[in-house]
Amino acid sequence: MLNEFRFLTLLAVLLFWLVPVQGGTLHRGLGPEPDALDIHLAQSLSALNVLRDLHEGLVTLDAAGRLIPGVARAWTVSDDGLVWTFDLDPAARWSDGSAIEAGHFVAGWRRAVHPETAAPMAGLLDAVAGANRVRRGQADSHALAVRAEGPGRLIVELERPTPWFAELLTHPLTFPWSGDQSRLYSGPFVLVERVPGARIRLAANPHFRAAQALGLDEVVWHVIEEPSVELSRYRADQLHITETIPPGRLQWMREQFGEELRIAPYLGTFFLAFNVAREPFVQAPGLRRALSLVIDRELLTERVLGSGEIPAWGLVPPGMPGWTEASRAEPLTMNERIARARELYRQAGYDDRQPLRVELRFNSSLTHRRMAVAVAAMWKQHLGVETRLVNEEWKVFVANRRQGRITQVVRGGWIADWRDAGNFLQLFQSDSPLNYTFFSDPVFDERMANAAQDDGPSRLDWLRSAEDRLLEQAVVIPLYYYVSRHLVKPEVRGFEDNAMDIHLSRWLSLQ
């Protein structure tokens, strides 16, 4: 009888530890300091991750990255695809308990496209009728075709049918705005502490419409720029989830962490971007192409980075719906590429006696530093280029890249906001606030405009031809396609790999 009692006691203890429980504090790696926690001013990935915990839009994502209702419990689309009607969930509340109303979306979207706001992502709303004219200063913000029909219904009119519009609404730029300076949050968590350069602490929002389903009491996002530091803190059990992993240690990490290491396809591309409005790259596509040709992508991804990245010769990543090409492979061999690059380099007026001197600017990160050192070495070895590496803190880097007054070559990259090739290509339109290459090309703009007007199968042809033009002009140097890379503790539940690599804390819990 005593042995049976001991056995039952041991079984109860084991079951207690194996069953998920409500509550607890989840510690997550964030990467660099967010550039802003204002839904209209943020553009960095770290900022967007935090904002998706603090706020919720009309539409949101489940743990697998699939679209599900958010503040809007349901929506309909007119037969011509131009009018979207959203019915709001009556249970949707701000963090002070007041109702979230359709007018909060109207106010937020008007602020997003107003020129004085200078929202870097404002172009994402160009699908809405009037948005482009408003953000160009050609119309009043009331020209934006979004209106409230009472507190519970939002009507949006589009310029043209946009099948991915619902997915666009998961971006923080489109979230409701309270219109005042008090800290009101529409999402599952509220901000309770922010220590710049260290951490951002969130607490469960008791007024969130699905508060009863939250599995956590708190989420602490830790600002950690160096992946090696993040790894050390993970191994010391100070983090449950890392933002990334250190470069060059993939096999070792597989041996050390087994199933805790999560690597999956990801809709993102890493590239170097030329400032084509500053010398020496003004009207110099040949010189720009020479610098691209001598970079050995395979060597870079396999030996320098070594985290599963895929070599890239195109901007749009594989896995994009309707984008059948896995990559745009360079037809020349490495030796042929070097020979062609040297010819273009000489034609641009440079040689061993008069080498090109250039700055390559990047933000603080071990991965970016390794990349920059390797690229500079390849430029030096094959062309004789003298490269000055400039490493900047994230906010300084973003500001300099956006202004373009001192930049020559900068590290760039883009993660899909929605699953469409146009989301990548719109960065390089002449009027895009995110165009830090300062590329202004009538041919490219015309092809993008044609794609915008075409809702048929030829739309992808226009987008593909726009990418052709961008690559032909060598405005960017695509280096590799991202993969998502995380370490996840076994006690974390609800973490699902997905192509968008968005993991909302509301779906996570601790065992």
pLDDT at res. 182: 66
pLDDT at res. 22: 61
Contact 447, 286 (CB under 8 A): no
The partner residues of 411 in beta bridges, in order of sequence, read 272
**DSSP for 451-478?**
HHH--STHHHHHHHHHHHHHHHTT-EEE
CATH 3.30.43.10 assigned to domain 265-484? The reply is no
The ranges assigned to domains in the chain are 55-174, 265-484
- Its pTM stands at 0.80
Instruction: Give the residue from 76, 73, 124 showing the smallest Cα distance to 100.
Output: 73
pLDDT at res. 319: 82
pLDDT at res. 181: 58
Q: Structure tokens of 200? A: 């951002």
pLDDT at res. 328: 65
For residue 7, the one-letter residue type is F
- Distance between CA atoms of 125 and 169, rounded to whole angstroms? 9
* β-strand pairing of 509-510 with 492-493: antiparallel
pLDDT at res. 17: 43
Q: Structure tokens of 220? A: 């602490």
Q: Which residues of the chain have pLDDT under 50?
A: 1-2, 4-5, 7-20
CATH of domain 55-174: 3.90.76.10
* β-strand pairing of 509-510 with 199-204: unpaired
Instruction: Give the residue from 104, 68, 101, 66 showing the smallest Cα distance to 87.
Output: 101
pLDDT at res. 273: 97
Sheet holding 199-204, edge to edge: 25-31, 218-223, 199-204, 189-195
pLDDT at res. 27: 98
